Structure 1
């Protein structure tokens, strides 16, 4: 029987790549978007349901709709997210809250919405798309790192809470992939009078250069399929360039000052 998969943020980028690959492999896929009507002519191979992950009632309604149509939800992939950059001091608090609403509270709303159905079947899988950035505080990306790091830790707790119900949970932490996340990212304005102006500009230049040379998100789709089909899964998976994945190991073994010096050199600070 084909597995039923719900992917938030399925209209573009990593979510679209995951959904497209899984459909090609025989899965039943539902994607979501805040504005699915904008993608009606994009010939996606799976339906897009209207969803704002920051609205818990909307999350419940979408999960119920899929349950009514298919009789189950086998896999939830929490992919919807927003980017945010800027010096913390100059980032509006409202934008910080918006990032947490989407990247942290949004996945929690979705997990709460699907868990009753998974629990009824005593099986299910939740995959949270976190980030390599969630393993470390990056300069001028501290809020984004915090949202993804928080989601990663919640996943660790939930795995222990759910294992006896037959429900598994894991994280996939991508590095840089060639998606359109930069177009929707909130950038704190570079103020001419700001003491951060020069260094913030340098970091943004490095980030944009990395994005231009980043990998195809279709690689994530293949990785997700392998994880779904595994019987014994890890809690944490990483996806990206060798040095991106290596940076997580280096943070674990190097003294803080040494690791931070490497980051400062990387970002030309």
Structure 2
């Protein structure tokens, strides 16, 4: 029986790469986008959905269930980037980032759980970020949204295992996608005390994304998780140094690790 996959934020980047890859593998894939009409050449159907709108989420999930009668795999991929000195980042932008990156996936999960409980089966894969394992300068709010999702899913997966449902977190590093273009950047103000440091860090962050890994690498990891009978709780996908930075945080003294990050971002 063909398995049904539901992917949020699937019109571009990692979500699109996953959808294309799983479609080629014979899965029945449905993706979501805020504006599906802009992506008429998608290799899989795109459903209009706004991840900050619970009713929109419920309509999208209902549309898939009406067509397929089942829902086997949910991939929470939709997200937004946000950068800036925390002191200068507008609170409405902070709220929006948490609504998309944290509350959005939880609303999607809640909309899908009744069907998965009924089936007594299902896998929910949450795309977090290696940034969620550490507080990164001028990306602290983004790190916070992903860290919150990581920890919440750790708890929630223990609650839903009794229903035959598995939850997994996949933390990517930098991938070559258009996330930098859609990211909210707190303006680099001429009168800001953070101007020089933030401006240099912003350039470095954008450069890291432009030279990032191929999103197909993420698609292959997702496929391996889907086909695994016992997937791990956490996966990290990215360059060796990005994954190694998580291990270093566990063993290095706090100040030494902080200095390492500041040296990377060329901060004094």
**TM-score clears 0.5:** yes
TM-score normalised by structure 2 residue count: 0.99
In structure 2, the partner of 1:25 is: 25
Note if 1:71 corresponds to 2:69.
yes
Match of 2:176 in 1: 178
TM-fit CA distance, 1:164: 1.1
Question: Corresponding residue for 1:210?
Answer: 208
CA distance in structure 1 between the aligned counterparts of 2:207 and 2:103, rounded to whole angstroms: 30
3-state secondary structure, aligned to 1:172: strand
> How far off is 1:212 after superposition?
2.0
Give the alignment partner of residue 161 of structure 1, picking from 145, 159, 162.
159
| SS of residue paired to 2:236 | strand
- Indicate the residue corresponding to 2:10 in structure 1: 10
TM-score norm. by structure 1 comes to 0.98
- RMSD of aligned alpha carbons: 0.6
Deviating above 4 A after TM superposition, structure 1's stretches of 4 or more consecutive aligned residues are: none
Work out whether residues 5 and 27 of structure 2, in 8 Å CA contact, stay in contact via their aligned partners in 1.
Answer: yes
Q: Structure 1 residues 45-54 or 202-211, which shifts more?
A: 202-211
Distance 2:146 2:117 in 1: 26
- Write the distance in 1 (CA, Å) between the matches of 2:211 and 2:181: 16
Q: Which residue of 2 aligns with 1:261?
A: 259
- 2-side partners of 1:106 and 1:240: how far apart? 24
Aligned equivalent of 1:252: 250
Residue by residue, what CA displacement relative to the aligned partner does 1:173-195 show, whole Å, maximum 9, x if unpaired?
00000000111100000111111
Unaligned runs of 5+ in 1: none
Give ranges in structure 2 of 5+ residues lacking alignment: none
